[in-house]
Structure 1
């Protein structure tokens, strides 16, 4: 499988894939309303990674050539309407105007040579799951970043947080102890990124973790200096098992939280906000 960074040093692989599919749609080889090959079939056809295929599809969506139907696939659109809209100055909805999957954002981020991720969240579970997939790509040789720098900002668990908390007994310490255990497990997994240096897969890796005495009611990911994804934690009731006991708690389901890209003018402000917590309130884990 090829390195998905560039072709001849001038063009990224996803652009090559997108161009071929665009020509096939324009030429009628893929008719309007016809389903495109699956992601797996495109990976085999173009000898690229799944993330590259996903990025090519997003590029085609942004230009009005295809549309995705959840659970059904990707279908060709009438591209001539999009060309007319651009010619008339009509705004065309941009790809990514809605929510974004963290897995997709992290996969795209790892296409870069130098990767930076600042994360403010409750346990880092979602981030850990997303990065694990990219570690597999690095080990396979699909991508070859030079450096990875991760800063993780998590809540302190030795202070009283609003969530998680027992519904019947707010003074019950077990939900907080469970949170502490979960966070510690995900932090340990993320610190394993540093092993990539010893394996010769990446030249430089840093994983910094700091704890802040506040309850996160939203999550924030700052990616490669030019993207900010923000998502709200919705408080819900959850039933957990601790030892032999079953406890109903006020909790948030962070894995399912929808993430939305912030406009470019807010990325810098979000970075400033993160840095203010990092430098003034947070302490090393």
Structure 2
């Protein structure tokens, strides 16, 4: 199915994880009723992001190979009792036409000699997760890019942003303080992650600038020829603060946001939009 491949025809990362686990279930290495490894263990085993593991599990659930028990874990099912097993054995999950996983797009980008990424997002958490397995491949010598150039546009730590905020108490600054810590954490670790590749002979440039705006969309321009756009949904959800209380806040949630490919005209327009922000009101950090 064309929707289960990247533009270059490569397998998606979640398919690789799902297929390995499916073979282990079908072959009895993971018995019916047996608990699968935790998400964290699967991340380490397959050297992928948590989002990729989650999608692989969703694919297996959709085909009747596993079931999730809230608070307990994921367990293998008797797949032979399910009429949903794919005819050729491949565990797949439906994806909207034109949508792309960031993990797959970054993995494909790292096959190039010169890698360029422009990103406009909230905290860079998703981007860090997508970069991590590829950086490890470079460190292991599996990939040998000559250069990596990244420009990050993020929300500004300390700015009085409209979102996140506590439901009914917009004057409470705790959600903004928490967001500031997340931005600093992921921007700092992403920069360190990539700059560590210098010891493998890669020419690395990472620039981070911030805006006093809460992004309601995320945008990635990858290797100058692939534009991806997605939208953050504003939702209310509980957050645990250091005082021990769970508080309901309005926040933009980006980890599950779908990204859609842009045509040449859209990509060119978005590049001009990104550059206009980068060159005017964005501040370096």
TM range, smaller chain: 0.5 to 0.7
User: Which residue number in structure 1 is paired with residue 197 of structure 2?
Assistant: 196
Deviation at 1:39, TM superposition (A): 5.5
Once the two structures are superposed, the pairs formed by residues 42-81 of structure 1 within 5 Å of their partners are 70-71=59-60, 72=63
CA distance in 2, matches of 1:96, 1:207: 32
User: Which residue number in structure 2 is paired with residue 183 of structure 1?
Assistant: 183
Decide whether the 8 Å contact of 1:168 with 1:248 is kept in 2: no
Once the two structures are superposed, the pairs formed by residues 1-285 of structure 1 within 5 Å of their partners are 70-71=59-60, 72=63, 97-192=97-192, 193-197=194-198, 199=199, 201-243=200-242, 244-285=244-285
CA distance in 2, matches of 1:134, 1:223: 14
Decide whether the 8 Å contact of 2:157 with 2:183 is kept in 1: no
Question: Helix, strand or coil for the counterpart of 1:281?
Answer: coil
Matched length: 208
User: Which residue number in structure 1 is paired with residue 5 of structure 2?
Assistant: none
CA distance in 1, matches of 2:86, 2:179: 39
Deviation at 1:96, TM superposition (A): 8.2
Decide whether the 8 Å contact of 1:102 with 1:127 is kept in 2: yes
Q: Could you list the per-position Cα deviations for residues 57-105 of structure 1 after superposition, in whole angstroms to 9, with x for gaps in the alignment?
A: xxxxxxxxxxxx94358766xxxxxxxxxxxxxxxxxx98431110000
CA distance in 2, matches of 1:151, 1:182: 18
Deviation at 1:282, TM superposition (A): 0.1
Q: 1:214 to 1:111 in 2, by over 3 A?
A: same
* Structure number with larger C-alpha Rg: 1
Q: What 5-or-longer segments of structure 1 have no aligned partner?
A: 1-13, 19-35, 42-49, 52-68, 77-94
TM-score with structure 2 setting the length: 0.67
CA distance in 1, matches of 2:100, 2:201: 27
CA distance in 1, matches of 2:257, 2:229: 9
TM-score with structure 1 setting the length: 0.67
Q: 1:39 to 1:147 in 2, by over 3 A?
A: farther
Q: What 5-or-longer segments of structure 2 have no aligned partner?
A: 1-7, 22-45, 48-57, 64-84, 89-94
